[in-house]
Structure 1
Amino acid sequence: MNNALSTLIFFLLLTTITLAQDFEVSGRVKDQNNLPLVFANVLLKNKDSVLLKGSATDEEGLFKIENIKAGTYLLSASYLDNLSETLVLTVTSDVSLDDLIIEQAEMELDEVEVTFKKPTIEQKADRLVFNVVNTSLAQGNIWDILKQTPGVIIINDKINIKGSSNIGVMINGKLVNIPQSDIVNLLSGSSGNNVESVEVILNPPAKYSAEGGLLLNIKMKKNLIAGYNGSIYNRYTQAVFPKHMIGTDHFFKGKKTDFTLTYSFRQNKNLNRFTDVTNFFDTSNTVDEVWTTEQKTINRSKQHNISGFFDYQINDKNSLSFSTINSFSVPANRFITSETLIEDTAGNLDSSFYTTNNSDYDVFNTAYYLDWTHRFKKKGENITLASNYTYYDYDRGQDLNTDFFDTDGEVTGENDFTTHSGQKTSLYSAQVDYTNPIKENSTLETGLRYSGISSESTITQEGFDRTQPGINPTEAGVFDYKEKIMAGYVSLNNSWKDWQLNMGLRSEYTKTEGDLDTSVNPVKNSYLEFFPSVSLQHKLSDKHNLALRYYRRITRPTYSDLNPFQYFQSNNAVVEGNPYLRPATRNYVSVEYNFDRSYSLEVYYFHKKNDFFEQVVQDNETNLLRFLSVNLESNITYGAEFRWNKGLTKFWDTYLLLSYYYKENGFTDIDTGAILDNSIWTSNIRFNNYFTLLKDRSLYADVLFRYSAPTVFGNSNRESTSQLTLSFSKSILKRRASISFSIEDVFNDGNYFSTRDYLNQDNSSFSRRETRLFFVGFRYKFGNNRIRDNKKQKSTDEGERI
């Protein structure tokens, strides 16, 4: 009796434990061609068809629904308008399902809200993907997102990846054809909430222009559900001066159309301070004067950004896409004040001068993209025609006034002059791409591209005191630059069970002509270059992968670099372009080992021929600081990079990058013509942590740290910098609204100190930008923010150099 009672109690307890235990259901969703479906919705309902839980598939089509009580349920998967069969599940333990295949079955979905957290950082064969939606950075602007994107380093508002600053920026796969400075303005004035992800493309396919080295592709969100939704937002930034941005986004999806419209207005007042110390040499190569300049620059601007994306599904085989990106600042002002003390080597004041530079400027940029795609009967075979037109207009007026003082502070002279300069650039391109899966595991891509650039730069300067040494500006001039590029490419992408091989070859014929109206003969150049690329990846086992990458690229000088005019920033600082700059070519090769998709070790080498940059040179005869556009003799970098990317818990993702490399720049001394080397072993550290907090996952917190060791740039040596950023975002009002705030560069250690010390060059620069920033923002969403699509029909399948 006791044994029977004990057995009964045991089974009762076992049943109770079993019924109380939580289980999970997992599986994979594929299409009818046995390919995984990414971001398909998987819904779990009770026997009365009441939705209980939901999930979504990852990049391999896998899903998992956790914390399920024992019982009987209904489960189905959906992808856009298509649904799988509905399965009846009896759950008494963990369930691993056979593949769910999407079929064209009709089914009504109740109004539900399914949330899914994709991995914050994904390492793929040729790129690194940063999913912004999982972070509080989505509440900032796009430029803030790039600052914190793994693998990306922003130095003085210039994007650097793996030691290269020649980076192409794309939005939804379309190159942004505006100058680097205006890219900063455009992205700083664009809401990060519209960004789905940022792709750091490490080995760009042959279909992309060979211009630049690596690519950053900013993928914007699309409205994947029928109907309309939108948002309004407001963001306030406090640094030394306040800044403010407001904007609105609108998304519409219909039966055949998708439409996105965004607008933002940004009012800025930025402060940048410089300290330049120059030890000028006499004719015997002995320092005889020390010039110390304290400069303060205040930029005021009111900037408008308007972008639109329109997709139209003409029929099952044809689709049309139109996009426009527009940015303009009218009016804007830059006011520079600088005081220069001239002392002897003992520190005794000899004289001084004070300069004001008041400059008003207008910037207008507009770009239009039109794409047409035709899909053939064969799955995956298509042809695309793409065209682009970009117009850029820059106009600046400048009043520069200098007063000279003796040791007693009495005025001894003055030098006042005015400058009016402008640049108008038109860029147009057309490209045809053809894709054909020639075999089950091989896809052929080929295409042709033509682009033409026409740029006119003008300058008028007057009022100079000709008795001042070194003052010899261009009084008036017009510089016309024309460029034509004809390109063709072919690539073959192969994927087998454990191997992936992508091969491509691109050729580009370039013809340029620069014509300065004050010179006798125009500068002409033409050249044909070939650009091979290879990506080979081998899956050694379930957790071990090996990859080999090689590519060759080209970087052409920016139009402002080619501009031969002298622009004075102060009485002894002048910026000069160089119409004789040569294009730079770059060879890159790397081997990468990956373990468990979380640990990566990459060894790489690249050599850049004829690299160019703005070199700071002191002219000891005229006491000028010259900012010259020059070609380097060599630019070599090699080293190793370790990456750790891991979801430590359900609420904590982390990313660690450790980079150690050798960098060598060979440059020509302007005075002697001697070739000198500037080299160093250096390192970078990046540690990003992303937290998703609270039971309803409505609070995001990010802790981001970056350290850059001392390094070299041309003839300059740069000291180390570091930055710590804290960001928070909280959803409120049933996720209709969100509030956010962040502190960037908490310890104010993100500014740059550079020195140049060789032969008769001995000078330093300390740049102090507003790197410590406090942000606070608010966003409110309206319209259709839930899954409400009950349709039952079958769904169908150069320019940055301005």
Structure 2
Amino acid sequence: MNYRVPTLIFISLISCSYLLRAQEFSIQGKVLSSERETIWLANVLLLSPLDTLLINGSSSDEKGMFKITNVPPGKYLLKASYLENESDYLEIDVASDSDIGEISISNYAQTLDEVIVSTQKPRIERKVDRLVFNIGNTALSDSDIWEALKRAPGVVVINNQLSVNGNKDIGIMINGRKVNLPRTDVINLLSGTSASNVESIEVITNPPSKYSAEDGMLININMKKNLISGYNGAIFNRYTQGVYPKHTLGTDHYFKGKKASLSLNYSFNREKWLTRYTDITNFIEEGVVTSTWKADENYIRRRKRHNFNAFFDYVFDDRNALSVSTLNQWNPKVSRLYDTETRISDPDGADVSSFITLNDSEENQINTSLYLDFVHKFKKKGAELSLNTHYTYYDYERDQDLNTEFFDVDGTVSDQDDFLTNSIQNINLFSIQGDFVTPMGTTSKLETGIRFAGIHSKSFIEQSGFDRDQAGIDPTGSAEFDYDESIFAGYGSFDTKWDKWNFKAGLRGEYTSTIGSLDIDNAIKKNDYFKVFPSLSLQYTPNKNHDFHYYYYRRITRPRYNSLNPFQIFQSFNSVIEGNPELLPSSRHYMAGGYTLNRAYTFEAFYKNRMNNYQLLVFQDNENEILRFISSNVDKDIAYGFNFSISKNLTSFWHFYFMASTSYIESRFTDLDSGQLVKNGLWNTYIRSNSGFSFLTDKSLKADISILYSSPVILGNSRQDDYFKFGLALRKTIFNKNGSISLGIDDVFNEASLFTTRKYLNQNNTSYYRPESRLLVVGFRYNFGNTKIRSNEKSKNVDERGRI
């Protein structure tokens, strides 16, 4: 038998192992107290100099000696801790085996039942179906959650519209619970809540089947789970100056006992915003422009807002736990003033006439949600049954006075119109869901569940004084619109790991029944349908330097209740926003596959196909000379392209994130006037970059620089020109890290404006949107309470905490 080949292989393996190990070194030393006493079982941590990420660690022996092995060459921070005391950070440069000598910890003579060591996680982590963005101890901590969300990986926000990889069907969750609020109210909730209590933001690119098929992607905001007993709290103040000031004042409170914990958050916001619009419409008759209407509008919104949130958890025993949560928002007064001057000119550009519209409206709104969750863990490890229910009540009322004066070419008043409306909308949402999870072997689990959701929406409008011809509901009458929806759902999913693979697959079925009725025409519209929604996620990680992933899902988007409401909201005499009770649900397929190198560089290709997408499309009514913003179905949307991203520590104090996405986007829709199918398409590129910096020896000064750019893009029947935004945020901890101050400038160069065009068939109009986007933001936060007291209970193995 020839032993030479196996012997050579064995020698080669030993040689390779030696060469690899030759690039790793050891660090040793001794831990002493300030009284020169040796400390036994002190934790010695080797940390990243950028974000204090834990890299390696060890414990001291009874002589205080420690040794950390397998350390690659480079610069690190070293810190020793015992009970509640820590040493100063020690900067070391490892190029060979090192003996650092003595490291000193101040007075350690305390008596506690446990030692808990908290370390910061990587800023971005990739999991089989999501990206996790850890924002703790960054410059974003003093901002609100909405501002922090804009920096999350893959997330792009333009004109307060969220998108992830070009997908705008985004659901928001807090601690795994879906926030069932309209989009504008979700923004209000997140912009009124401090980000200091956020542990991480999860961008779930392929949500598990347990979640509703309504959202293509989910963003889960994980609040910090505090293991501290007793009471602690904080106050925060955030001032924003644009054209007008905006001010938020709030407080957080946290109570924890042996079995119960309670978190309370309240904020009050008072703000005034200015937005400028310019709409130019070339009205057409038989293919020829007959007149051009140029409308310049200044829109001022004043608002007072109260946010109150509460989270209560009670642990009965090791197997049963109850959670009660409530999210509440009250806008006691929202004032809107639209001041619009419209000039009408003939085809040669000569002025013909003009009119000025003052639209003065006031509204109030209450939005309250209640969540109840119960979890029972079975004796079989990993098996559990959870039940949760949810109720939301939404009440909205708006009074509007729209007054228009008409002028001849010489400026003489020729006519006047005064239009009054009162609109009310009430929405009640209820859902209940049960989920069962059981492990299958040591690396797999099966999950199944059922859900019911019921929705009732009632809308009422009363109008008087309007005098003109137009399509839609008679603007001088009153009407009531009722809409009811019931959804029955069931799902099953399977999750497993083997060797270097992660696999997750699920199938969800949903039966939906809707009924809508408008009292003025005695018409009842019913729609019943059943659809299935498969999902699949696959991840292969041969080693820590290489990661491959693929995912696919099918989802549905049902029309929003205010989009189904057929009533009209006038912004000026010839500009109106309309709902559409004929809207159809939209379904879409999405798939993507990619590769990540060294946990830092990711390339991903994707494809999206969507039917009946509904959007607020802009159509000009050439006969009645009206600009209509109407909710409509887009016949088909397709998009395909690729994404590239980098998430990497470039230096010891600089973390860099960069994402570029290039895709072909095509939209096919039916023209409202002619009924013809129109197709628009182009290639789009958007770029997002964030740089996080840490300064000073104790890393107490943080900075974040953000850049967002989008080339022209197709949105329904509109083409939107390129977009650019640059922001800067600074944060400095003070008062022994119990307080912090922050300073930021959003849209430094004041470039975040949107210009859109619609030119096809008999449509020829443009819109120029100029929000109040360059903002100076100043924040202060101070934490108080007995934050140094620890629970006597042993800590659990949870994601937010690590123990060595």
Whether the 8 Å CA contact 2:154–2:164 is kept in 1: the answer is: yes
Structure 1 counterpart of 2:65 = 73
2:27 corresponding residue in structure 1: 23
Which residue matches 1:427?
429
Label 1:237 to 1:523 Cα distance change in 2 as closer, same or farther (>3 A).
Answer: same
Out of 689, 703, 722, the residue aligned to residue 687 of structure 1 is 689
Matching residue's letter, 1:288: T
Q: 720, 726, 729: which is aligned to 1:727? A: 729
Q: 1:703 to 1:795 in 2, by over 3 A?
A: closer
State the shift of 1:336 in Å: 0.8
Counterpart Cα distance in 2 of 1:549 and 1:374: 31
Deviation of residue 123 (structure 1)? 2.0
Q: Aligned AA for 2:38? A: K
Distance 1:638 1:222 in 2: 39
Q: Deviations over 1:462-509 (max 9, x none)?
A: 111247899942611110000000000000001011111101000000
Superimposed CA distance per residue, residues 568-587 of structure 1 (whole angstroms, 9 cap, x where no aligned partner)? 11100111111111100110
**Aligned-partner SS, 1:659:** strand
Q: CA deviation at 1:227?
A: 2.1
Q: Partner residue of 1:578?
A: 580
Q: Distance in 1 between matches of 2:373 and 2:349?
A: 65
Q: 1:790 to 1:382 in 2, by over 3 A?
A: closer
In the alignment, what sits opposite 2:516? 514
Deviation at 1:536, TM superposition (A): 1.1
Looking at structure 2, the residues matched to 350 and 24 of structure 1 have their Cα atoms a distance apart, in angstroms, of 87
Aligned partner of residue 317 in structure 2, secondary structure: coil
Q: Which amino acid aligns with 1:757?
A: K
One-letter amino acid matched to 2:786: N
Residue identity in the other structure for 2:439: P
- What's the offset of the Cα at 1:752? 0.6
Find the counterpart in structure 1 of residue 56 from structure 2.
Answer: 64
Q: Does the CA-based 8 Å contact 2:259-2:316 persist in structure 1? A: yes
Q: Decide which of 281, 284, 309 is 2:284's aligned counterpart.
A: 281
**8 Å contact 2:113–2:792 — kept in the other structure?**
no
User: CA–CA distance in 2 between the matches of 1:24 and 1:257?
Assistant: 43
Which residue of structure 2 lines up, in the alignment, with residue 789 of structure 1?
Answer: 790
> Using the alignment, how far apart are the partners of 2:27 and 2:261 within structure 1?
40
Q: Is the 8 A contact 1:474 1:565 kept in 2?
A: no
For the residue of structure 2 that corresponds to 1:139, the secondary structure is coil
> Matched residues in 1 for 2:349 and 2:65: separation?
85
- Per the alignment, residue 9 of structure 1 pairs with none
CA contact (8 A) 2:356 2:404 kept: yes
Give me the whole-angstrom Cα distance separating, in 2, the residues matched to 1:392 and 1:661: 38
1:193 deviates by 1.3
Percent of counterpart pairs with the same letter? 46
Asked if 1 retains the 8 angstrom alpha-carbon contact of 2:238 and 2:780, the reply is: yes
Q: Secondary structure at the match of 1:181?
A: helix
User: After the TM superposition, which residues 604-643 of structure 1 pair with which residues of structure 2 at under 5 Å, given as runs?
Assistant: 604-643=606-645
Amino acid at match of 1:280: F
Match of 2:219 among 208, 216, 220: 216
Aligned equivalents of 1:259, 1:78: Cα separation in 2:
33
Asked whether the equivalents of residues 693 and 699 of structure 1 are also in contact (C-alpha less than 8 Å), the reply is: yes
Residue 574 of structure 1: SS of its match in structure 2? strand
Partner of 1:195: 198
8 Å CA contact 1:740, 1:777 repeated in 2: yes
CA contact (8 A) 1:260 1:310 kept: yes
Q: Distance in 1 between matches of 2:694 and 2:113?
A: 27
For 1:479 and 1:794, locate their aligned partners in 2 and report how far apart those are by CA, in whole Å: 54
Q: State how far apart, in whole Å, the 1-side matches of 2:599 and 2:797 are.
A: 33
Between the aligned partners of 1:640 and 1:702, the Cα distance in structure 2 is 26
User: Are 1:261 and 2:264 counterparts?
Assistant: yes
SS in 1 for 2:140: helix
1:650: Cα distance to partner?
A: 3.1
Say if 2:677 is the partner of 1:675.
Answer: yes
Is the contact made by 2:668 and 2:677 (CA closer than 8 Å) also made in structure 1? Answer: yes
Could you tell me how far apart the structure 2 residues matched to 1:292 and 1:744 are? 30
- 2:40 and 2:64 in contact (8 A); partners too: no
Secondary structure of residue in 1 paired with 2:131: strand
Q: By how many angstroms is 1:330 displaced?
A: 0.3
Q: Specify the code of the residue in structure 2 equivalent to 1:528.
A: F
Distance in 2, Cα, partners of 1:526 & 1:623: 38
Asked if structure 1 preserves the Cα contact closer than 8 Å seen for 2:732 and 2:741, the reply is yes
Secondary structure of the equivalent of 1:365? strand
Structure 1, residues 272-328: CA drift from partner, whole Å, max 9, x if none? Answer: 11000111112x211121110001111111100000011111011100001000001
Structure 2 residue aligned with 1:242: 245
Shift of 1:113: 9.5
How far apart are the structure 1 equivalents of 2:330 and 2:529? 35
Per the alignment, residue 355 of structure 2 pairs with 353
In 2, distance between residues paired with 1:314 and 1:222? 18
Going from structure 1 to structure 2, the CA distance change for 1:793 and 1:193 (only over 3 Å counts) comes to closer
Match in the other structure for 1:646: 648
TM-score by length of 2: 0.87
CA positional deviation for 1:697:
1.3
- 1:430–1:750 distance in 2 versus 1, CA, 3 Å: same
* Alpha-carbon distance in structure 2 between the residues aligned to 1:783 and 1:563: 49
2: CA distance, partners of 1:770 / 1:75: 57
Give 1:103-182 correspondences, 5 Å limit: 108-109=111-112, 116-182=119-185
Aligned position for 1:539: 541
Return the alpha-carbon distance in structure 2 between the equivalents of residues 67 and 436 of structure 1. Answer: 37
Instruction: Give me the whole-angstrom Cα distance separating, in 2, the residues matched to 1:759 and 1:687.
Output: 39
SS in 1 for 2:136: helix
Partners of 1:24 and 1:67 within 8 A in 2 = no
Note the 1:301-380 alignment, pairs <5 A: 301-380=303-382
- Give 1:52 deviation, angstroms: 7.4
Amino acid at match of 2:27: F
Deviation at 1:147, TM superposition (A): 2.0
State which drifts further: 471-480 or 294-303: 471-480
1:78: how far off? 14
Give, in whole Å, the separation in 2 of the partners of 1:311 and 1:343.
65
Cα distance, 1:541–1:619 mapped onto 2, change above 3 Å:
same
Name which of 661, 664, 668 aligns with 2:663. Answer: 661
Please report the TM-score for the alignment, with normalisation by the length of structure 1.
0.87
Shift of 1:643: 0.9
Q: From 399, 405, 408, give the equivalent of 2:410.
A: 408
2:396 counterpart of 1:394:
yes
Q: Secondary structure at the match of 1:627?
A: strand
Give the distance between the partners of 1:114 and 1:691, measured in 2 at CA. 24
Q: Quick one: which amino acid aligns to residue 161 of structure 1?
A: V
SS state at 1:149 partner: coil
User: Paired residue for 1:31?
Assistant: none
CA contact (8 A) 1:49 1:74 kept: no
Native 8 Å contact 2:58 2:66 kept in 1: no
Q: In structure 1, what residue type is equivalent to 2:375?
A: T
Q: Give 1:73 shift.
A: 3.2
- Residue 316 of structure 1 contacts residue 796 of structure 1 at CA under 8 Å; is this kept in 2? no
Amino acid at match of 1:727: A
For the 8 Å contact 1:23–1:69, the answer to whether it is kept is: no
Alignment-mate amino acid for residue 434 of structure 2: V
Deviation at 1:187, TM superposition (A): 1.2
- Alpha-carbon spacing, 1:323–1:790, altered in 2? closer, same or farther (3 Å): closer
CA contact (8 A) 2:114 2:794 kept: no
Q: Structure 1 CA distance, aligned partners of 2:733 and 2:739?
A: 6
Could you tell me whether the CA contact under 8 Å between 1:611 and 1:634 is conserved in 2?
Answer: yes
Letter in structure 1 aligned against 2:428: S
Alpha carbons 1:470, 1:624 under 8 Å: kept: no
Whole-Å Cα distance in 2 between the matches of residues 373 and 94 of structure 1?
A: 50
SS of the residue 2:141 aligns to? helix
Q: CA RMSD in A?
A: 2.9
Contact 1:641 / 1:657 at 8 angstroms: preserved in 2? yes
Are residues 793 and 222 of structure 1, via their aligned partners in 2, closer, same or farther at CA, if it must alter by over 3 Å? Answer: closer
Q: How far has the Cα of 1:23 moved from its partner?
A: 2.1
Shift of 1:540: 3.2
